[in-house]
Amino acid sequence: MNKPVWVIDTNVLISAALTSGGTCDRVMRAVVDGHVRLAWSAGILAEYRAVLLRPKFKFSESVVASLLAAFPPEGQVIPVTTALLPDRDDEVFLATALATDDRILVTGNTAHFPEELCLPVKILTPTMALHRLGFK
């Protein structure tokens, strides 16, 4: 059976790193445990790295490197052209999700991804993502 391929917004990754056992952490653990494959692009990885290294989060270079190791080379995709979003920085996530067969984006900021601009990509909250995997 093919595992679903998802794009993970930066806020999910940050929340997972900050809150062990929380909903976002459980989403990322589902990735590590092989229930989901991640899709990412060079722009997404650059944003992850930049945000994780912000002084307010106090993550060391080695912690950031280990977090980014969850994004294997085979998950890299080339983003496609997408609609303009309210926050232009979010477009790389939508464009990357559009480049996958599953077209799933997991984010804690659903308001940044209005459904009418994002179709056919399905926007899932972390809780919705866990339910989709059959986790409670």
Query: 56 or 86: which carries more pLDDT confidence?
Result: 56
Q: Where are the domains of the chain?
A: 5-132
Residue 105 is inside which H or E element, if any? strand 104-106
Residue matched to tokens 């232009």: 88
For residues 104 and 106, what is the distance between their CA atoms, to the nearest angstrom? 7
Asked whether residue 40 carries a pLDDT value surpassing 90, the answer given is yes
Residue matched to tokens 């990322």: 28
Question: What is the pTM for the complete model shown?
Answer: 0.94
Average pLDDT across the chain, whole number: 93
Crossing angle of the two packed helices 61-68 and 10-18, in degrees rounded to 10: 120
One of 3.40.50.720, 3.40.50.1010, 3.40.250.10, 3.40.50.2300 is the CATH number of 5-132, namely 3.40.50.1010
Query: 64 or 67: which carries more pLDDT confidence?
Result: 64
The pLDDT, as a whole number, for residue 86 is 85
For residues 20 and 15, what is the distance between their CA atoms, to the nearest angstrom? 9
| Overall average pLDDT of the 28-42 stretch | 94
| Overall average pLDDT of the 6-15 stretch | 96
